[in-house]
Each structure stands twice: as C-alpha cells, then as structure tokens.
Amino acid sequence: GISKLISELSVLPNAEQLIREKIDLDYSLLPDYNLASISSQIAMIHHLLPDIGWNISSFHEDKINVPDGANGLCAIPKWQKIAGNYYDAVEIILNMIEKIRGKLSNWRKGQIDLDHIRQRDRTAKMFNVIGEKQKGCDILVFPCHLGKKYLGHSINSFFTKIEENEFPLDSFSVGMMILMHQDWFQYPNHHWFNCGGDEFCDKGEGDFNLVTCFRLANNRNRLLRFATNLVEEEDERFGVPSGYVP
C-alpha cells in the first residue's frame, strides 16, 4: 500500500552525498537525471496508483526509436484514468508528492482548477496520438528528454527549437516522474523543470501567460516547490522536459 511505499522511499540514495555544499556551478556541466527502467517505472506506477490497469503497449524497448539526446523511455499513466478532468489529476499528483516527500511548497495551492491551469494544446494532441498508437493502454510508453537540452531556454524559445514529433511535458507527467524517481531533486544546483505542457493563468481571468514548474525551494533540506514562471523568462537553472511521439 501507499504507507509501505512511503516507508521504502524515505531512504535516500548514497549519491546525495555527492553535492551537499552550496557551490557555484555551471548547471550545464552537472550530471543529468537518470530514468529507471521501464519495468521499474511501471511497477512504481502500480504501487502508487493500484487502480491503474496493467494493460500497456506490447512493445520491445529495442524497437522504439529513442532520438539522439533523449534520456530514454518513460511510462506515464493517462490522466483520464485518475480523474475526470486534467486539473484534478494534477491536484492528486501534487498531494501524492507531498505525502511521499513529507512536504511540498505549493505556491499555487487553491489555484489548481479550471480557471488557472490547463494542458497545452500541442501536448494534449501529442498524447492523443500516442494513445491511438497504444490503443487500450492505461500507461503510455514513449521517449523523453529531461530538460537539459533546453537548459536556460524560455518556453517561447523552446518552441522554436523542438522536433516535429516533440512536445513539452506537463506538470502531471513531470510530477509522475518525480514520484517514480525519489532520487530526483536531491542535489543543490541541479537543474529544475519548467513544465511547458501546461499553461497557467495567475488571476483566473483568461491570460494564460505562465508555465508551471518544479524547483527546490530550500537546498539544505531539499524542499520541493511547485510554482510558475513567465513563458518568456530565461533562467539557466530551468530546463524543459519533453516527450516524443514514437
């Protein structure tokens, strides 16, 4: 159950000792995040979300083309299998992150609703394409990049650089990956994530000019923060995770 999982994930990896002091580093020179194997990701999804079906695409990993520069394959459940709408699915994932990590600094608490957050059209359409290719599957498997390729790029700039079959990942997908990889966001000065697959409206009045993000709020105790940035903002600490239609 979830309590057993939380207990198992409370043990931090030895690798956290690698970068403990506050130091000034070039973010592009730091090691990238690592993806667990597909079988491990799927097993973790079923620990976290036991109601998700086991039916996934019948595939052979060596037959899925992983583009140059991509980190590998990721497994993401369809948000529709978790909630009736996108923003409720995001809320569920954020609550799970808070339970498992012990704390989450959510600067947008109370604003995860229809008036404030939505999935970007390109991201929604690309997930639909993957869903058609992997019809009937609760969990979708596709290549992804974890943001280092677009380190320091604004979301606006990101869209001028991507491949035809590439799309920005949303906060639901990135949040799922954070849940599956407890060793992420353990290192001070490691790059953070702009979730370009989301659009966010600050005042709930129709101007969706923000992007959601995950970052560290406090390096000393690795407090994770969910917040927003401007779509035109360039910051060397942030990368843009992306997926590819296989």
37-79, pLDDT tens digit by residue? Answer: 998 999 999 999 998 876 665 555 556 788 888 999 999 999 9
CB atoms within 10 A of CB 155: 27
Can you list the positions of beta strands (E) in 42-145? 72-77, 104-106, 117-119, 139-145
**Distance from chain centroid for Cα 177:** 5
Residues 21 and 56 sit within 8 Å (Cβ to Cβ): no
Return the DSSP state at 56: B
- Given a contact cutoff of 8 angstroms between Cβ atoms, the answer to whether 48 and 2 are in contact is yes
Per the CB < 8 A criterion, the answer to whether 183 and 91 are in contact is: no
Residue range 222-243: mean pLDDT, rounded: 92
Percent of the chain at pLDDT above 70? Answer: 81
Is residue 15 predicted with pLDDT exceeding 60?
Answer: no
pTM, rounded to two decimals: 0.84
pLDDT at residue 18 in the model: 30
**Statement: residue 126 has pLDDT above 50:** yes
- pLDDT value at 121 more than 50: yes
pLDDT digits (tens, 9 = 90+) for 169-214: 999 999 999 999 988 988 766 789 999 999 999 987 778 999 999 9
Tell me if residue 209 falls in helix, strand or coil: coil
